[in-house]
């Protein structure tokens, strides 16, 4: 497979909720080994785009999702995950009364050859991942503890670890650093770099341009559901990017004249 073949490609994807058009005619592609930053105001449609890529939202008629050069017709979250797309959702998608291990393996449980859950393996892995990956060692981080007893950052750690440990080809991170401490934020940003180093791809959403700009290869700006612009990092400095983000918010245009 050459690197020109996108991992995922959206063609004319729109999403309407009743009267609200959250995405309109979005076209984008993510290539292997590429980290793409997704920028845009609150309500621009970033999370909706993520959930559409994941198959949680079905695009309006006419929109197409292609995975590695193949048009996907029966898209669903289970299918997206089995093909190798994992997401850290903005709302974290945890089941708080359930123990950590069940959250970690939600929807992708480990079963033995008789189809029975291998609870022991899941608990052992969950413990190892939480302490080695995130360095979480507090009292609450025992695999049998319900997620609701953990701190906010630890809960997020569960969601982050969960998305990373399946070695997905495409990892989507929707504001992963919000609420994390300085050192956990740094770890999360390192994870993004590791994704790139191992030749996999990521979509990275964060309102902090100081997180996005150093981490990514390319940036896509969403505005009111439309792709307002795309930049390679070489085409724009951080200051210019900040300037144009303000302009988009004000006028809906990226560049000064049009």
Partner 1 sequence: MSQDSQEVKPKANAARPPSFWRRFGMQFGIWSVGIVMWLAFVISAPSSFTHPEIYLAFAATTPIFALMAIPLTLVVITGEIDLSFPSIMALSTCAFAKTVSGGAPIFVGVLAAVAMGLACGFINGYLVTAFNIPSLVITIGTQFLFLGLELAWTNGSGADLTDPKFNLIDKLLVGRTFFGIANQFWWTIFATGVLWLVLNRSKFGSHVFLTGDNKISAQLMGVNVNRVKRWSFALVGVFSALAGMIGSFEVSYFWPTMGGGLLLNSIAAVFLGGTSVFGGTGTVTGTFVGAFIIGAINAGIVAAGINAFYTQVFFGLVIIASVILQAIISRRVKK
Ligand X SMILES: Nc1ncnc2c1ncn2[C@@H]1O[C@H](COP(=O)(O)OP(=O)(O)OP(=O)(O)O)[C@@H](O)[C@H]1O
Could you list the residues that contact partner 1 (CB under 8 A)?
51, 54, 56, 76-78, 80-81, 87, 89, 91-98, 102, 105-109, 111, 115-117, 119, 127, 130-131, 137-142, 144-146, 148-149
Q: Of Mg ion, ligand X, partner 1, none, which one does residue 127 interact with (CB within 5 to 8 Å by kind)?
A: partner 1
Give min distance, CB of 173 to Mg ion, in A. 11
Q: Which residue has the tokens 């995405």?
A: 23
Is the alpha carbon torsion for 123, 128, 131, 137 positive or negative? positive
Does 220 participate in binding ligand X (rule CB under 6 A)? no
- Which residue lies nearer to partner 1 by CB, 105 or 191? 105
Number of Cβ atoms within 10 Å of the Cβ of 19: 5
Element (H, E) at 205: strand 201-205
CB neighbours of residue 162 within 10 Å: 24
Q: Edge to edge, what strands does the sheet with 201-205 contain? A: 85-88, 170-174, 201-205, 35-39, 218-223, 226-232
Q: Answer for the pair 8, 170: CB distance below 8 angstroms, yes or no.
A: yes
Q: Which CB, 42 or 234, lies closer to ligand X?
A: 42
Going by C-alpha positions, the residue among 168, 174, 231 that lies closest to residue 195 is: 168
Is residue 13 classed as helix, strand or coil in its secondary structure? strand
Tell me, what DSSP letter sits at residue 256?
S
Binding to ligand X (CB under 6 A): which residues in 24-63? 40, 42-48
Tell me how far, at minimum, the Cβ of 16 lies from ligand X, in Å: 9
In the bound state with ligand X, the residue whose beta carbon lies nearer, of 14 and 161, is 14
Q: Which is nearer to partner 1, 24 or 149 (CB)?
A: 149
The C-alpha atoms of residue 140 and residue 183 are separated, in whole angstroms, by 19
Phi and psi, residue 166, nearest 5° = -85, 5
| Residue 57: closest CA among 94, 103, 22 | 22
Give me the 179-218 binding string for ligand X, x by CB under 6 A, dash otherwise: ----------------------------------------
Judged by beta carbon, residue 75 or residue 231, the one nearer partner 1 is: 75
Q: Spell out, one character per residue from 82 to 111, where the chain touches ligand X: x when CB under 6 A holds, - when not.
A: --------x---------------------
Nearer to ligand X, 46 or 162 (CB): 46
Q: How far is the CB of 3 from partner 1 (least distance, A)?
A: 28
Binding residues (CB under 6 A) for ligand X: these are 17, 20, 22, 40, 42-48, 90
């Amino acid at each position: 497979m050459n690197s020109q073949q996108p991992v995922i490609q959206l063609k004319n994807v729109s999403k309407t909720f009743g009267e609200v058009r959250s995405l309109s005619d979005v076209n984008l592609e993510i290539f292997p080994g590429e980290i793409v930053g997704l920028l845009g105001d609150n309500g621009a449609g970033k999370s909706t785009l993520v959930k559409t890529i994941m198959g949680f939202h079905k695009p309006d008629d006419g929109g197409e999702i292609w995975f590695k050069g193949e048009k996907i017709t029966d898209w669903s979250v289970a299918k997206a995950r089995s093909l190798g797309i994992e997401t850290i959702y903005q709302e974290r998608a945890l089941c708080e009364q359930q123990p950590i291990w069940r959250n970690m393996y939600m929807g992708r449980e480990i079963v033995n050859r008789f189809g029975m859950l291998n609870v022991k393996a899941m608990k052992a892995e969950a413990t190892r991942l939480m302490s080695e990956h995130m360095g979480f060692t507090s009292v609450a981080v025992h695999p049998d503890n319900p997620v609701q007893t953990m701190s906010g950052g630890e809960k997020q750690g569960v969601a982050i670890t969960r998305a990373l440990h399946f070695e997905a080809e495409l990892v989507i991170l929707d504001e992963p650093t919000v609420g994390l401490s300085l050192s956990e934020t740094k770890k999360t940003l390192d994870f993004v770099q590791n994704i790139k180093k191992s030749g996999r791809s990521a979509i990275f959403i964060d309102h902090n341009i100081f997180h996005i700009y150093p981490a990514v290869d390319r940036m896509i700006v969403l505005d009111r559901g439309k792709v307002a612009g795309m930049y390679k990092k070489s085409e724009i400095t951080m200051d210019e990017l900040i300037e144009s983000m303000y302009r988009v918010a004000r006028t809906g245009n990226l560049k000064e004249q049009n």
